[in-house]
């Protein structure tokens, strides 16, 4: 009997758990450890943030789903990994701490044969002074944050209805954060809602981002075929902003937020400020703070994790200049180089380097996006990691037939630009591969025939369709496994 332990029940961990359980015989055990009781479909949080969905529409309780599937669920946070066991045990285990119920705050050692670290990110608001829903800005990173943002947005809208001008500042809240797409969606949805209420004349909408140019999205931008041209996504993104009357500031790293004022540094080394009445700034991501210890109790965290707390896997982490980056630097099976029965998928794995070109201000501050791994890539990684583990359990082989490098994997991103069955809009973007491969595709970095950038009502229907489809799949309802990641 084998024991598969999965830390995290987000898109990657939950996908891995369902697939492992479905493909393994019942004698094998699948255990999920997550500090949260609910699964959330993160892409729809945007609609909570503008009051068009309730948190209950994007989440559901994990325990009943896992019970039905025969997955053991422990609502707890992972504290430390002990891959070699300790003086009293030969097998690897993870120390966990329960976060709810009768066992709250109780610690337990959970042994495993295979471990998947799919803990996702720690929303590192503390990395930027004054950032976050407990301080002076809003967030849409979780359904609770998004609901809180909607409460504050309603206050701003009410002021506008009384004739008071409001300044909105949306974007990235740290010089090196990712998830520009979520902020992009949010500002477009706010603009759409303001327009719906005919309050445009009272709104000043500002975008602030660590991207070198608009449309970078942390993936070095892309090229799309449009109107008889192949154009960079900069044109695409700027065009949408112009249509929605949104101003933009790029090459900017927010370093501090005070009530109503964001302080930022730009690549020219200038220290500037932007005032706001309502701000939603995405925080930087870090690992969740898992530690690792060897058999003797020595701290081996630095060996297993990158300095930001994300887990090292089968990537090439040797520092090299941007010009020398290769597709082969990116991991394909997400296996720890230290222990072959440990994997990290989704946001929990440490990318070998950014996708966007690293930039430094004249003062030496690094200002560039880190790589996005949310949504579709996270699900695909969870899937192939689970499939490889299932193969290893069934065959005893150490081969990994399933691979999904971000340099060989495509991704689709549907960016909501307004909610409404008849008048809603969304930008559909697809890229293949996610990480540009300039050796294979020297002209555009990616396969241009797979790349799409299109805005319209069809995109909104697709985003809405995917909301229901992926929640159906996550609930493991009949034939869930037919739906691809």
Residues near another protein, by CB under 8 A: 191-192, 195, 198, 200-201, 235, 238-239, 241-245, 247-248, 376, 380, 383-384, 401-404, 408-412, 417-418, 422-423, 425, 428, 430, 432-433, 450, 452, 454-459, 461-462, 484-485
Minimum CB–partner distance for residue 394 and another protein (Å) = 18
φ, ψ (nearest 5 deg) of residue 207: -105, 135
Angle between helices 376-395 and 11-23 (to 10 degrees): 30
Rounded alpha-carbon distances, angstroms, from residue 36 to 9, 33, 69, 361: 8, 9, 18, 39
Q: Which is nearer to another protein, 157 or 417 (CB)?
A: 417
Q: Which helix (H) or strand (E) holds 483?
A: none
Minimum CB–partner distance for residue 450 and another protein (Å) = 6
Contact (Cβ atoms closer than 8 angstroms) between residue 47 and residue 89? no
Minimum CB–partner distance for residue 452 and another protein (Å) = 6
Angle between helices 180-196 and 143-161 (to 10 degrees): 30
Q: Which is nearer to another protein, 306 or 462 (CB)?
A: 462
Minimum CB–partner distance for residue 114 and another protein (Å) = 19
Q: Which is nearer to another protein, 173 or 459 (CB)?
A: 459
Asked if the bond preceding 433 is cis, omega within 30° of 0, the reply is yes
Minimum CB–partner distance for residue 412 and another protein (Å) = 4
Minimum CB–partner distance for residue 352 and another protein (Å) = 18
Minimum CB–partner distance for residue 414 and another protein (Å) = 9
Q: Which is nearer to another protein, 297 or 401 (CB)?
A: 401
Q: Which is nearer to another protein, 71 or 160 (CB)?
A: 160
Q: Which is nearer to another protein, 65 or 409 (CB)?
A: 409
Q: Which is nearer to another protein, 174 or 460 (CB)?
A: 460
Minimum CB–partner distance for residue 147 and another protein (Å) = 25
Q: Which residue has the tokens 């180089």?
A: 337
Gap between the Cα atoms of 392 and 398, Å rounded: 6
Burial 119-133 (b: 16+ CB within 10 A, else e): bbbbbbbebbebbbb
Give the residues across from 38 on adjacent strands.
61
Contact (Cβ atoms closer than 8 angstroms) between residue 35 and residue 76? yes
Gap between the Cα atoms of 79 and 97, Å rounded: 7
Gap between the Cα atoms of 222 and 314, Å rounded: 26
Minimum CB–partner distance for residue 332 and another protein (Å) = 9
Minimum CB–partner distance for residue 227 and another protein (Å) = 9
Residue 364, classified by CB atoms within 10 Å of its CB into exposed (0-12), middle (13-18) or buried (19+), is: exposed
Minimum CB–partner distance for residue 164 and another protein (Å) = 18
Minimum CB–partner distance for residue 231 and another protein (Å) = 9
Give 350's DSSP letter: P
Q: Which is nearer to another protein, 9 or 455 (CB)?
A: 455
68, 378, 234, 248: CA torsion to nearest 10: 70
Give 205's DSSP letter: E
Q: HSE (CB half, 13 Å, CA atoms) of 85?
A: 8
The three-class DSSP label of residue 423 is coil
Minimum CB–partner distance for residue 250 and another protein (Å) = 9
Residue 362, classified by CB atoms within 10 Å of its CB into exposed (0-12), middle (13-18) or buried (19+), is: exposed
Going by their DSSP bridges, the two strands 426-431 and 59-61 should be labelled as: unpaired
Which residues have a Cβ under 8 Å from the Cβ of 396 and sit 6 or more positions away?
none
Q: Which is nearer to another protein, 124 or 332 (CB)?
A: 332
Residue 41, classified by CB atoms within 10 Å of its CB into exposed (0-12), middle (13-18) or buried (19+), is: buried
Q: Which is nearer to another protein, 111 or 200 (CB)?
A: 200
Q: Which is nearer to another protein, 33 or 116 (CB)?
A: 116
């Amino acid at each position: 009997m084998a024991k598969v332990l999965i830390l995290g029940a987000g898109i990657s961990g939950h996908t891995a758990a369902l697939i492992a359980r479905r493909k393994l015989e019942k004698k094998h055990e699948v255990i999920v450890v997550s500090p949260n009781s609910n699964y959330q479909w993160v892409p729809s949080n945007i609609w909570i943030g503008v009051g068009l969905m309730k948190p209950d529409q994007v989440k559901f309780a994990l325990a009943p789903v896992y019970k039905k599937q025969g997955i053991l669920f422990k609502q707890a946070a992972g504290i430390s990994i002990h891959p070699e066991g300790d003086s009293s045990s030969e097998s690897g285990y993870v120390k966990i701490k329960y976060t709810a119920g009768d066992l709250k705050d109780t610690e337990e050692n959970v042994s495993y044969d295979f471990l998947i670290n799919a803990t996702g990110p720690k929303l590192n608001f503390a990395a930027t002074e004054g950032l976050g829903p407990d301080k002076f800005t809003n967030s849409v990173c979780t359904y609770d944050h998004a609901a809180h943002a909607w409460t504050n947005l309603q206050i701003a809208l009410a002021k506008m209805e009384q004739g008071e001008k409001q300044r909105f500042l949306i974007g990235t809240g740290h010089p090196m954060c990712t998830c520009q797409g979520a902020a992009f969606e949010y500002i477009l949805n706010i603009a759409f809602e303001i327009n719906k209420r005919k309050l445009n004349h009272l709104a000043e909408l500002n975008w602030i981002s660590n991207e070198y140019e608009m449309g970078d999205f942390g993936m070095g931008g892309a090229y799309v075929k449009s109107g008889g041209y192949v154009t960079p996504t900069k044109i695409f993104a700027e065009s949408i902003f112009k249509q929605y009357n949104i101003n933009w500031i790029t090459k900017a790293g927010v370093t501090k937020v005070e009530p109503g004022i964001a302080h930022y540094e730009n690549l020219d080394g200038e220290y500037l400020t932007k005032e706001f009445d309502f701000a939603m700034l995405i925080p930087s991501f870090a690992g969740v703070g898992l530690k690792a210890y060897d058999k003797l109790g020595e701290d081996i965290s630095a060996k297993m994790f990158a300095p930001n707390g994300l887990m090292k896997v089968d990537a090439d982490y040797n520092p090299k200049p941007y010009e020398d980056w290769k597709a082969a630097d990116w991991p394909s099976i997400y296996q720890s180089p230290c222990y072959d029965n440990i994997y990290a998928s989704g946001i929990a794995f440490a990318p070998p380097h950014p996708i966007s070109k690293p930039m430094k201000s004249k003062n030496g501050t690094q200002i560039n996006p880190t790589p996005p791994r949310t949504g579709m890539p996270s699900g695909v990684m969870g899937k192939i990691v689970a499939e490889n583990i299932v193969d290893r359990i069934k065959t005893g082989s150490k081969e990994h037939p399933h691979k999904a490098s971000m340099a060989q994997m495509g991704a689709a991103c549907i960016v909501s630009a307004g909610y409404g069955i008849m008048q809603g809009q969304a930008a559909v973007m697809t890229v293949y591969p996610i990480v540009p491969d300039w050796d294979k595709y020297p002209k555009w970095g990616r396969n241009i025939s797979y790349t799409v950038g299109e805005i319209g009502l069809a995109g909104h229907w697709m985003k809405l369709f995917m909301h229901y489809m992926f929640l159906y799949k996550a609930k493991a309802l009949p034939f869930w496994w037919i739906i691809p990641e």
